[in-house]
Amino acid sequence: MIVSGIGALNLKPGLSDTATDLLQGGVAPATGGNLGTSFAEALSQAASKTVNTLQNAEQVSVQALKGDADTRQVVDAVMSAQQALQTAVAIRDKVVSAYLEVSRMGI
């Protein structure tokens, strides 16, 4: 079975486009040999996008304090950053939970 990256996962319909974009890192289709590398790349890209979104929200907020940005731009940037951060925390929680479950397995 060939999975075309983390973007091929069936996501909950309630996730926003930002969350879906965060998970879809444009990773090439993975086969058995490079599955770990592709997953690591996908997580790395997701983390980078999250950091960029947070930095963008910070920059727009600073611009608003200077009077150079509209309130709507600030709200959009902050809401996008909030969604990205919540997605990153959810992914982290799932990874930690999976690790703990695997560590409890008997060998």
- Could you give the count of Cα atoms lying within 13 Å of 51 in the half-sphere of its Cβ? 6
| Residue 70 resides in a domain | yes
Alpha-helical (H) ranges within the chain are: 17-23, 35-66, 71-104
Domain count, the chain: 1
Instruction: Check pLDDT > 80 for residue 22.
Output: no
Angle in degrees, 0-180, between the axes of helices 35-66 and 71-104, rounded to the nearest 10: 150
Average pLDDT over residues 79-96: 95
- Domain hosting residue 87, numbered range: 16-104
How far apart are alpha carbons 19 and 55 in whole angstroms? 17
pLDDT at 106: 80
How far apart are alpha carbons 90 and 83 in whole angstroms? 10
| Residue 11 resides in a domain | no
Asked whether the whole model's pTM tops 0.75, one would answer no
| Residue 10 resides in a domain | no
